[in-house]
A = this chain, B = another copy of it.
Amino acid sequence: MTPDEFRQHGHALIDWIADYLDGGVEQYPVGSQVQPGDIRAMLPEHPPAAAEPFDEVLADLDRVVMPGITHWQHPSFFAYFPGNASFPAVLGDLAASGLAVQGMSWVTSPACTEVETMMCDWMQELLGLPETFRSTSARGGGVIQGSASEATLCAILAARWRATEGRVNTDGDTSRLVAYATAQAHSSVEKGLRIAGIGTEQLRIVAHDGNFAMRADELDAMISEDLAAGRMPFWICATRGTTSSMAFDPLPAIGAIARRHHVWLHVDAAMSGIAALAPEFRWVNDGMEAADSYCTNPHKWMGVNFDCDLLYTAHRDALLGALSILPEYLRSQAAEAGAAIDYRDWQIPLGRRFRALKLWFVIRAGGVQDAIGMIRRHVDLTQQFAAWAREDDRFEVVAPHPLNLVCIRLAAGDAATDDLIARANESGRALFTRTVLDGQVACRMSIGGRTTDERHVADAWKLLQGLA
């Protein structure tokens, strides 16, 4: 492809994306309607022997790809969690693709590191997070991760390093370590522990209350029991906004317990932490000063397209202790003088994209007010939807819904609720996720689309009522 052809096809693709995000997406069923194998069947089984005209490649986005897309950008997408792409974010990502630098070390592109550090500091300020998370603090700092799963794993590794005073790096001994979370914690908690050599037998499932939030008294009792048995409690995951029902574990009480027993406290606010941009929702950070690490996802509720997770720690020594490796070909004077951050030592992989650009573009283009306005709209719509559900005797609201997720079920029971979700999703008019809360099937409605407004939520309610 010549540079001129790139300009031509690039402009066409920009226009295609503009059309798609500016209403075009609403012409599609929300959830893809294909069956397994349908998309593959449209692709040649063997690679082309010669170059193909690029017009045909772009045309295949519509012909082959679009039928197999579940439209996360659809305003009637209420499944999983928000996954917004905003226009400035798409451009930030595009700039990163064009520059194609590797930000593994400061020296491999200082701007990639320093813009990222500043964006983490800007976000610390915008979210009202503790000063101990700021890169300019004595021992803390932030980093952009690809996903909250990776952030959680990094937090586990930092805690594992601290609890063993670094010995785990050489002896690999995790046998005494014990971790704590509720059954409502994200699946990446169990997965991260397992990866780190901490088996599920070493994960204590702390009981939750009627609101699906951790019972701090149960946590305290479990830790005491483990200590008495000679085990080493090393990591607590408190979730601020669980995936199933957006429950909030009581951070002040948990933090006090973590401090008293000197156990690493990780706060997973992947889905809901961005709410703190709005002053009235900053309570999501209550008790955060006791957190040793914290993560939240601009790629969920802030219009920054995947991947952009923020991980903060108040103890960068532990993170670096767990993750630093320094072969000769990665040494640099700037890093050895302590003047520069090498983010490869803050993450699982070595390589990394210039992900800070999209966050920078979004904050500057929208001045954060765009994100705050969107968050407020989503919360209002969620409360409206919950009110409608509560007025209809056939439906029950099964968990608190302080922000933008509400879980409902049919009073008629699990089978009816399952059937309702399946038929609603098959309609293509909206998309919901099924979950199970304390044994009961529920329909999760996550209201977080960049272009979702009252019309879409009202349509979704009509759809559910009609099918009920």
Contact = CB atoms under 8 A, between A and B. Distances in A.
Interface string A63-105: 0111111111100000010011111111101110111111000
Given A36-B339, A51-B364, A13 B351 contact: no
Interface stretch (A18-26, A212-220, A377-385, A389-397): A18-26
Interface residues of A, dominant DSSP: helix
A146 B80 CA distance: 23
Contact of A348 (B150, B366, B370): B150
B329 A243 contact: yes
A153 B192 CA distance: 12
B363 A48 contact: yes
A283 interface: no
Interface in A46-68: 46-52, 54, 56-58, 61, 64-68
Given A3-B21, A32-B109, A47 B122 contact: yes
A118 interface: yes
Given A195-B157, A244-B328, A369-B51, A114 B172 contact: no
Q: How many copies does the complex hold?
A: 2
B329 A68 contact: no
A98 B57 contact: no
Contacts of A188: 325, 349-350
A325 to B, nearest CB: 4
Interface string A322-341: 11011111110010010110
B108 A52 contact: no
Most chain-B Cβ atoms within 10 A of its Cβ — which of A65, A147, A444?
A65
A17 B6 CA distance: 9
Contacts of A433: 329
Interface in A1-46: 1, 3-7, 9-11, 13-22, 31-32, 34-40, 43, 45-46
A427 interface: no
Interface stretch (A199-207, A228-236, A258-266, A311-319): A199-207
Contact of A80 (B93, B153, B329): B329
A125 interface: yes
B57 A361 contact: yes
Contacts of A202: 172
Contacts of A110: 32, 34, 36, 38-39, 68, 70
A197 B196 contact: yes
Given A13-B98, A57-B365, A72-B101, 4 more contacts: A54-B364, A65-B111, A172-B197, A173-B199
21 contacts: A3-B19, A7-B15, A7-B18, A13-B94, A14-B14, A47-B368, A49-B367, A51-B367, A70-B101, A72-B109, A73-B99, A73-B100, A85-B99, A90-B94, A90-B100, A168-B197, A172-B199, A187-B327, A188-B325, A191-B325, A244-B329
Pairs of residues from A and B, 10 with the lowest C-beta to C-beta distance, nearest first: A197-B197, A68-B111, A172-B199, A17-B98, A10-B14, A85-B100, A51-B367, A36-B339, A3-B22, A147-B349
